[in-house]
Amino acid sequence: MLIFIENPKLLIDEFNQMAEIAQKKAFITVGIEIQKKEIITIHNYLKELSDLKSEFVKRDLENEANLVYCIENSLLAIAYELQMLVNLKEDQMSEAWDNLVRAQVIYGTVISNSPFQTEENNHYLNRLERYEKLLFPNLYFQSVGGIIKESHCSICNQKSGKCGHIKGKLYKGEICVRVISDMQLEEVSFVDNPANKHCRLISIEQNGKTVDIMTLREIIK
């Protein structure tokens, strides 16, 4: 652990190795038990990284802490991808979708905080998008509209707008989000390009039956 504090470049090397190994297992053909084991390996490594990040923060090394965020969440995205593949094999389609979306969202936060990458032409995001197009049917998304009555900054806890932190940016290895604590619901509408792809229509009517939109299995109420 201390070696990384002296030389963060070694951390990048270790990450590249971990990511390469994990990605070799992120194919549908790879044994489900091997994929499950890799997910555990990644999560164990993430615990180590979390300790390392605390050390960087303690020493006021903000760039290094932010680097750990990017490494953590890149690996977490691969873990979600692996979990999606496991879900597909175990016939858990809804969970598979949610894990794909988690991978996309979390990797998006890495890209937007990395000076070297853009969202438009990112190899890994393209890969995740191909899963979406190939493996899942067309889904219908909902968007929740409303008036935010109370929200605060996740970094400093002050009311939104009262501090200089920017939503989506990293501060000492943590991402800044706007935490909504009170919202007045105005409307729920269907949208093509949703902010939240977890928020989707679950069932459709088909021949007088209510069926799951993913599996087409009847939903018995």
Name the residues that contact Zn ion, by CB under 5 A.
Answer: 153, 155-156, 163, 165
| Mutual angle of helices 8-24 and 32-58, in 10-degree steps | 160
Helices (H), the chain: 2-6, 8-24, 32-58, 62-89, 93-112, 123-135
Q: How far is the CB of 113 from Zn ion (least distance, A)?
A: 16
Q: How far is the CB of 161 from Zn ion (least distance, A)?
A: 10
Q: Tokens 């000076």 sit at which residue?
A: 115
Taking the C-alpha atoms of residue 215 and residue 137, their distance in angstroms, rounded to an integer, is 10
Q: Between residues 173 and 213, which has the closer beta carbon with respect to Zn ion?
A: 173
Q: How far is the CB of 189 from Zn ion (least distance, A)?
A: 31
Q: Between residues 110 and 155, which has the closer beta carbon with respect to Zn ion?
A: 155
- Pull the structure tokens for residue 128: 């995740």
Radius of gyration of the chain (CA): 20
Taking the C-alpha atoms of residue 183 and residue 170, their distance in angstroms, rounded to an integer, is 25
Q: How far is the CB of 150 from Zn ion (least distance, A)?
A: 15
Q: Between residues 34 and 166, which has the closer beta carbon with respect to Zn ion?
A: 166
Taking the C-alpha atoms of residue 210 and residue 220, their distance in angstroms, rounded to an integer, is 8
Q: Between residues 36 and 169, which has the closer beta carbon with respect to Zn ion?
A: 169
Taking the C-alpha atoms of residue 60 and residue 38, their distance in angstroms, rounded to an integer, is 32
Q: How far is the CB of 160 from Zn ion (least distance, A)?
A: 8
Q: Between residues 158 and 210, which has the closer beta carbon with respect to Zn ion?
A: 158
Question: Largest Cα–Cα distance of the chain, in whole Å?
Answer: 66
